[in-house]
Amino acid sequence: MALPLTTIAYYAGGAMTNRTISSQAALRAQIYAYAQELE
């Protein structure tokens, strides 16, 4: 169940942080950590 959520958050985050590339890297790390907590 973590995979769909991660995928949705990844694309949603990518669209929101398109103009802020540095924030995108931090967001990916945050999503990855959150997904691991769910597993």
Q: Which long-range contacts (CB under 8 A, 24 or more apart) does 22-29 make?
A: none
* Residue 3 parent element (H or E): helix 2-16
Give 4-38 as a 3 state SS string: HHHHHHHHHHHHHCCCCHHHHHHHHHHHHHHHHHH
Distance CA 38, CA 1 (A): 8
Extents of the domains making up the chain: 2-38
Residue 34 has pLDDT above 80, yes or no: yes
Query: Residue 19 has what pLDDT?
Result: 59
Query: Residue 27 has what pLDDT?
Result: 79
List pLDDT tens digits, range 3-33.
Answer: 677 777 777 766 665 556 667 777 788 888 8
